[in-house]
Structure 1
Amino acid sequence: MSATTPVGTAKGPGEKPHEYVFISPDHDQAIKQGEYVYYEVPIDGQERHVIGRVVGRTPVRLLPDAFLSDPQVAPDAVADLIGYEGGGHEIFEVVVAIMGYFDQTLKTFVNPRIPPRSGWPIYLVPSEILARVLNRCTPGEQGSAHIGWLLSRPKGEVPIALAAKEFLSTHLAIIASTGSGKSYLAGVIIEELLKPTNKACMLIVDPHGEYETLDHIMARQEFWGGPNPSSYRPKVKVLHPDKVTIRHSALSLSDLHYLLEVPERQEFLLNEAYRKVSSGEKRNRWTFADLVEEITRIAEQRGERDKLDYSSSAAALGWRIDRLLHSSRSFHESRHLGLAEIFEPGQCTVLDLSEIDKREQQVIVSVLLRHLYEARVETEHGRSQDGDNKYLPYPAFVLLEEAHHFAPGGEGTSVVSSKILKQILAEGRKFGVGIGLISQRPGKLDADVLSQCMTQCIMRIVNPVDQANVASAVESVGRDLLDELPALSKGQVIVAGPSLNTPVLAQVRERLTPHGGQDIDAPREWDAYFSEQAVQRRQEEATFYQPQRPVDRMFRPTD
C-alpha cells in the first residue's frame, strides 16, 4: 500500500453499479464536488490505482443543533465546556463514480469492475498524476491547446490542455449563457491555435465585431516561432463589412431563393433563368443584369408558347433582384472573397459581419463553407491543382459565433446555411474541415448540429430548456457534472469529449490578448459626457458651428 495519507475509508457500493461510498472527516476540506480520489487493487500482478470522481457528499454526523443556537458563541467552545466527546464532530459520506485505472498502452481509463471492500483506504489523487491521466497532451507540445487548470486544485497545479487534433477534426461546441465567458474561452483557444506549436489555418465568423482585438497576437513574442524575422509569425487579418463581397456568379440557386424570397408564381422563371446563365458562356462570371435579361427573354418565350402573359411576373422578379442589387454591399459583379485570401497556415481571418443583414450573413457563410468544402474534396481527390479556384492543400478550421443564427433548430426554421453546415459536420472530418460552434442559446440551435460536435465546452446555463437540450445532445458528460451548470461562475467550464481522457471541470486561463466582447459601461459613458474636457469640447464646437436662427415671421401688432 502507498505511504500517502488516506482521506477516507471505503464503506461499500453506491446506488449505481459504477459507484462506491466512503466515509471521511475531511478535516482539510479537500474532498470537493468533482475531486478525484483512488483506491489500490492488484490486477494482473500489478498494483493499480483505480481513480474515481466525487459526485456526491452528505453529512452523516454534525454538531447538535443546540450547540449552534447562539451565533455569538463558537460551537466548539460549547462542546469543550460540556465535555462533548464527539471528536472531529463532522463526518461525511462521499459518493464516487469509478473511472478506472489509466492504461498507458491504450491511453484510456479501464474499469476493472472491482469496487473497494469495506475498510479499504481511499486516497486523494496527486496533482502530477492527474495532469498526466486527464490530458491527452501536455501544454507546450505540438497539437496542444492549454485552456486553463482543474477547478478543484490550486491555480496552475493541474493544467488542462485539449488535444487540438481531436476537436479540429471532430468539431467543437462552446455553449454558455450570456456573460458566462464563452467568447473569452474562444479567444483562449484561438490564441493556442496560433502559437508555433499549431500554426492554425482558421476563419472566425464574427457577427458582432468582437474579435478584432486578436490582431494584438502579431506583436506578442509568445506567438513567435523564434527571434529571427524569418521565423514563424502568426497573421491576423480582420475583414470589415466593406471587404466582405461575394460575386454574383458564386451564388447558388438556393442562395438566390433565400435572398429574394421568391413567390411560387415566379419560381419557374428564376429557376430556368439561373440554369441558363450558370451553364452558358458566362457561367463563372454572370451578373444580376444577365439574370434579369434572361428572365425577361424566358417570360416572352413562355408567353408566346403558352398564350399567357408572364411580363408582370418577370417585372416583379426583376424588381426584387434590382432591390437586392442596390440595397446590399455584400454582392458584386466581379469582386469576390476567395479562399486564398481567407485561408493560409498561421493565419486567422476574422470575418466582421456586424453591419450586414442577417439573411445576407447566412448566405455569405453558406457560400464560403460550400466553396471551402468543395475545394478540400477536390484537392484531396487530386482533381484540382495549384492555381485552381478549388485548390486548398491544407486543413482549415471555421469558428462560428452565434451559431444558432446559421443552424437554428425547430420546424420551419431552416436557413440557407444549415444544409452545408450539417454536411461538413457529418463528412468534413475525412477532408480536413473542422467546425467550431459558439452559442448562448443551445435551445435554438439545431440538435443534430450540436450532437455532431464531439468536444463540448459547456459554461454556466440557467435556462431549464437550454439545460435539457445540452443534456440530450451531449452524451459524454455525466449527470453530476451537468447539475453544476447553474452554479458555475464566469470563466468556469465543463469540458468533455475526445480532446481529453475524461470530462473535467476547469477554470479558463487569462488571455494574452485583450478581450473584445466587453459590455458597454453606460454609467461611465454618461458621466464622461459631463467631464471638463467634454464640456469644453462642446463649447468650442458650438462657437464654430452656430446654427442659423430661423426668421421670426409671426405677425406682431405695432403700437
Structure 2
Amino acid sequence: MLQVIGTVKGPGETGNEYLFITADNSEVKIGEFVAYQAQQDDETLSILGKIADRRLIDHLPDRIFADTEINPEAIAALVGFAHPNPEIYEVAVTVIGYFHPALGFINPRLTPDPGSKVYRVDDDTLRQVVNKKQPQEVGAAHVGSLLLRPSEAVPVALDVKELVSTHMAILAGTGSGKSYTAGVLIEELLRPYNRAAVLVFDPHGEYGTLGDMRGHPAFQADDGYIPTVQILTPDDIRIRMSSLDYYDVLTLLPDMSDRQQAILNKGFAILKRHRKGDYRWDVNDLIRAVHEADTSVDDEGNEKLGSSAPAIEWKLERLAQSPYFDRMNHLAPKDLFEPGQVTVLQMNEISQEEQQVICAA
C-alpha cells in the first residue's frame, strides 16, 4: 500500500521540479525518494523524484516560541487548534523519471497535476531501481545501504563491470571516508563471486591492512579460493630506465629551461636512432646522446659543446642515484596482476614526481 505524504502544489523553479505540500516533517528529509503516479497511454507510471529542498511556509505565531516557559502545543489547544502537526512545509522535488528494467530511468516529461498525491517510495522498489545487480551476485560490489532508510533496508551494490571499465573518482571532504570507501570496493572485488585482479598505488601507506583478508571466512569459497594479498614496499619497486620516455624523464628533472628541454628531446631522438629495437639503455647512454645533441661545429671545423649538456648531465646523474630506476630490473605487469590477488605498492616514502612516473611506467 502506498504511503501518501503530501499533495502536489504545482511546478517548481525549473522544468524538472515540482512542489508539494505536507505537514509530516519526518518523511520529507533532503535526499528522500518520493513518487507520483501519471498516465501515459493506457499505462500507469510511477515517476520517481528526489527531495531537493524543504521550506516552512505556515506555523504557529512566533510570539508563542519566544518564551521558553510556554508550551506551544498547550497554547494552541487553548484556542481550539489541536492539529498534531501544525506546521506546513513546501517541498521541492527533482524528477528522476520512471524505471524501465532494460533502459533504466526515463523522464517522460509529464508534470504532476495540482492535487496529485505524493508518496514515499517503498524499500522493495528502491532495491530494484538503485541496483543493477543485487548484493553477492557475480559482478556486484556491495558498498553499504541507503542512508535515509533503516540500516540494510536498501543495500547498495555497484556493477563491477561498469565500475572498472571507466575512470572513477571518490570525492569528499577531509575525513569523510574516501580511503575507507576505496578499501570496501577493493574488498568486494576480492570476494569469491568476483575474484578480480587489483593493483593499488598507495601514496600514503593506508592500505596495508588489506592483509587482514587472508584467512577471513567471508573471503573464502568452497572450492578452496582464498584471496592473495601482495604488499610491496618502496624497496621492492624497480622500473627499468629504458621504459621511460622523454616526458617521464622531464618530470624527474628539476628546473629545466626551454633550451635544456629541447636538447633533452633531441637526445632522446638520437638515442632511439642509435639504439634501435629493445635496447636497454641507461643514464650514461642518455648523457652521451645529450652531449651529441648539444655539440656544434664552428667555422674552423672544431666541435664545441654547449652549456645545456653539462647542466642536464648533472641532473641525470642525480636521477641515476634513485633506487627506483634501474638499467635491467623492471616490475612488470605479470608480477602485479593475478585473478583473486590485490597488489599494494606502498609509495609513502617516494617523492611525488617519482610516484607519477612509476605509475605511468
Report the alpha carbon displacement of residue 171 of structure 1 after superposing the two structures with TM: 1.5
Provide, for residues 441-464 of structure 1, a one-character-per-residue CA deviation record: whole Å limited to 9, x for no partner. xxxxxxxxxxxxxxxxxxxxxxxx
CA distance in 2, matches of 1:170, 1:54: 29
Report the alpha carbon displacement of residue 267 of structure 1 after superposing the two structures with TM: 5.0
Match of 2:93 among 88, 92, 96: 96
Matched, 1:337 2:331: yes
1:324 counterpart letter in structure 2: L
CA distance in 2, matches of 1:177, 1:339: 33
Give the aligned partner of residue 162 of structure 2.
166
Ranges in structure 2 where 5+ consecutive residues have no aligned partner: none
> What SS does the aligned partner of 1:174 have?
coil
1:92 counterpart letter in structure 2: Y
Give the aligned partner of residue 47 of structure 1.
44
- Superposition pairs of residues 204-283 of structure 1, within 5 angstroms: 204-224=200-220, 226-228=221-223, 231-261=224-254, 262-267=256-261, 270-279=264-273, 280=275, 283=278
Q: Which moved more, 1:188-197 or 1:277-286?
A: 277-286
CA distance in 2, matches of 1:300, 1:88: 88
**Structure 2 CA distance for partners of 1:305 and 1:33, relative to 1, 3 Å:** farther
**Structure 2 CA distance for partners of 1:43 and 1:272, relative to 1, 3 Å:** closer
- Superposition pairs of residues 429-508 of structure 1, within 5 angstroms: none
Report the structure, 1 or 2, having the larger helix content.
Answer: 1
Provide, for residues 245-298 of structure 1, a one-character-per-residue CA deviation record: whole Å limited to 9, x for no partner. 111211112222332344455556544543444452684322223333455566
Match of 1:325 among 300, 320, 326: 320
Give the aligned partner of residue 344 of structure 2.
350
Taking only aligned residues, the RMSD between alpha carbons, in angstroms, comes to: 2.5
Contact 1:37/1:123 (CA < 8 Å) preserved in 2? yes
Q: Which moved more, 1:151-160 or 1:114-123?
A: 114-123
Contact 1:303/1:310 (CA < 8 Å) preserved in 2? no
Give the aligned partner of residue 11 of structure 1.
9
Provide, for residues 231-255 of structure 1, a one-character-per-residue CA deviation record: whole Å limited to 9, x for no partner. 3222221111111111121111222
CA distance in 1, matches of 2:186, 2:32: 29
**Structure 2 CA distance for partners of 1:98 and 1:302, relative to 1, 3 Å:** same
> What SS does the aligned partner of 2:334 have?
helix
> What SS does the aligned partner of 1:162 have?
strand
Q: Which moved more, 1:243-252 or 1:92-101?
A: 92-101
CA distance in 2, matches of 1:75, 1:306: 102
CA distance in 2, matches of 1:212, 1:37: 42
Contact 2:195/2:340 (CA < 8 Å) preserved in 1? yes
* Greater relative contact order structure (CA < 8 Å, 6+ sep): 1
Report the structure, 1 or 2, having the larger strand content.
Answer: 2
TM-score scaled to structure 1, two decimals? 0.59
1:260 counterpart letter in structure 2: L
Match of 1:288 among 283, 286, 301: 283
**Structure 2 CA distance for partners of 1:15 and 1:294, relative to 1, 3 Å:** closer
Contact 1:249/1:278 (CA < 8 Å) preserved in 2? no
CA distance in 2, matches of 1:283, 1:304: 38
> What SS does the aligned partner of 2:169 have?
strand
Matched, 1:120 2:113: no
Contact 1:200/1:346 (CA < 8 Å) preserved in 2? yes
Give the aligned partner of residue 129 of structure 1.
125
Matched, 1:35 2:29: no
Contact 1:9/1:119 (CA < 8 Å) preserved in 2? yes
CA distance in 2, matches of 1:305, 1:239: 57
CA distance in 1, matches of 2:49, 2:64: 35
CA distance in 1, matches of 2:191, 2:48: 33
Provide, for residues 451-502 of structure 1, a one-character-per-residue CA deviation record: whole Å limited to 9, x for no partner. xxxxxxxxxxxxxxxxxxxxxxxxxxxxxxxxxxxxxxxxxxxxxxxxxxxx
Contact 2:270/2:293 (CA < 8 Å) preserved in 1? no
CA distance in 1, matches of 2:202, 2:150: 34
Contact 1:278/1:286 (CA < 8 Å) preserved in 2? no
CA distance in 2, matches of 1:18, 1:263: 53
CA distance in 1, matches of 2:313, 2:284: 9
- Superposition pairs of residues 285-434 of structure 1, within 5 angstroms: 285-295=280-290, 307-310=302-305, 313-326=308-321, 328-367=322-361
Ranges in structure 1 where 5+ consecutive residues have no aligned partner: 368-559
Provide, for residues 59-114 of structure 1, a one-character-per-residue CA deviation record: whole Å limited to 9, x for no partner. 222112222232233211222234335563112122222222212242x1222333
CA distance in 1, matches of 2:358, 2:174: 25
**Structure 2 CA distance for partners of 1:273 and 1:302, relative to 1, 3 Å:** farther
**Structure 2 CA distance for partners of 1:274 and 1:152, relative to 1, 3 Å:** same
CA distance in 1, matches of 2:106, 2:180: 35
**Structure 2 CA distance for partners of 1:305 and 1:55, relative to 1, 3 Å:** farther
Contact 1:39/1:122 (CA < 8 Å) preserved in 2? yes
Contact 1:250/1:284 (CA < 8 Å) preserved in 2? no
How many equivalent residue pairs?
Answer: 359
Contact 1:33/1:54 (CA < 8 Å) preserved in 2? yes
Matched, 1:110 2:103: no
> What SS does the aligned partner of 1:151 have?
coil
Contact 2:296/2:304 (CA < 8 Å) preserved in 1? no
Report the alpha carbon displacement of residue 340 of structure 1 after superposing the two structures with TM: 0.6
1:6 counterpart letter in structure 2: V
Identity of aligned residues (%): 41
**Structure 2 CA distance for partners of 1:135 and 1:300, relative to 1, 3 Å:** closer
Provide, for residues 338-397 of structure 1, a one-character-per-residue CA deviation record: whole Å limited to 9, x for no partner. 111112222221111111122211221221xxxxxxxxxxxxxxxxxxxxxxxxxxxxxx
CA distance in 2, matches of 1:252, 1:134: 44
> What SS does the aligned partner of 1:172 have?
coil
Give the aligned partner of residue 23 of structure 2.
25
**Structure 2 CA distance for partners of 1:81 and 1:236, relative to 1, 3 Å:** same
- Superposition pairs of residues 124-203 of structure 1, within 5 angstroms: 124-203=120-199
> What SS does the aligned partner of 2:165 have?
helix
Report the alpha carbon displacement of residue 43 of structure 1 after superposing the two structures with TM: 2.6
Report the alpha carbon displacement of residue 182 of structure 1 after superposing the two structures with TM: 0.9
**Structure 2 CA distance for partners of 1:341 and 1:5, relative to 1, 3 Å:** closer
1:199 counterpart letter in structure 2: R
> What SS does the aligned partner of 1:7 have?
strand
CA distance in 2, matches of 1:138, 1:180: 26
Q: Which moved more, 1:40-49 or 1:306-315?
A: 306-315
CA distance in 2, matches of 1:264, 1:87: 75
CA distance in 1, matches of 2:127, 2:5: 20
Report the alpha carbon displacement of residue 173 of structure 1 after superposing the two structures with TM: 0.8
**Structure 2 CA distance for partners of 1:293 and 1:26, relative to 1, 3 Å:** same
